[in-house]
């Protein structure tokens, strides 16, 4: 699949596909991170966990992990119809419903894919809402619909490795 090229070669992503555009701000992402890992996140530079920036240039430091959140108020691909045709019939309708996206990018990833997916999956599970039609995994080209099994699947991926970010790793 040829999705919209948002990612840097040095990052690893989970993309939330949204029915309607939603501009995530640093406070919303800070609260999601705090709930995800049960640890405080600051919005001003300093020691510890941090969420800084604005718009598509938000950066999160969660322990030793660095994430960014590029997004757009448009379909993830230049040709959503072409990509939908590559999906199983039951997923095509959902793919075509998305009108915006936000990526959870793990910066400088590639060293430990299980750990990186665990960090991203844990935060993505917290960010799921009814506005999300599903998630797209650019590296594999997989689309996972936001149905009753998605939250459990993300939490299962997240549980595969201790992220080093606190008590919530055990859930």
Pairwise CA distance, residues 102 & 161, whole Å: 24
Return d(Cα 84, Cα 69) in angstroms, integer.
24
**What range does the domain containing 100 cover?**
11-162
pTM of the predicted model as reported, rounded to 2 decimal places: 0.86
Please give the tally of structural domains in the chain. Answer: 1
Average pLDDT of every residue of the chain: 85
Give strand ranges (E) for 56-99.
59-62, 65-68, 71-72
Highest mean pLDDT among 13-22, 83-92, 160-169: 13-22
User: Residue 74 falls within a domain, yes or no?
Assistant: yes
The reply to whether 171 falls in a domain is no
Q: What is d(CA 34, CA 49) in angstroms, rounded to the nearest whole number?
A: 9
2 within a domain of the structure (yes/no): no
Task: Please report which confidence band the pLDDT of residue 162 belongs to, taking 50, 70 and 90 as the band edges.
Answer: confident
**Which token pair is 131?**
């506005």
Q: Is residue 6 part of a domain?
A: no
pLDDT band per the 50, 70, 90 thresholds, residue 84: low
Q: Is residue 170 part of a domain?
A: no
Is the predicted pLDDT of residue 168 greater than 60, yes or no? no
**Position 169 in a domain:** no
């Amino acid at each position: 699949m040829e999705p919209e090229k948002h990612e840097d070669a040095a990052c690893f992503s989970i993309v939330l596909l949204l029915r309607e555009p939603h501009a995530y701000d640093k406070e919303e992402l800070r609260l999601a991170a705090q709930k995800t890992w049960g640890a405080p996140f600051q919005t001003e530079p300093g020691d510890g966990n941090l969420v800084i920036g604005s718009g598509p240039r938000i950066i999160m430091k969660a322990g030793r992990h660095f994430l960014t959140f590029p997004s757009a108020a448009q379909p993830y691909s230049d040709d959503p119809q072409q990509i939908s045709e590559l999906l199983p019939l039951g997923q095509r309708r959902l793919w075509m419903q998305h009108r915006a996206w936000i990526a959870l990018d793990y910066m400088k990833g590639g060293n430990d894919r299980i750990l990186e997916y665990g960090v991203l999956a844990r935060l993505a599970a917290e960010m799921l809402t009814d506005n999300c039609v599903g998630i797209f995994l650019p590296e594999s080209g997989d689309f996972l619909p936001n149905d009753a099994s998605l939250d459990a699947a993300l939490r299962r991926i997240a549980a595969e490795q201790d992220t080093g970010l606190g008590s919530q790793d055990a859930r």
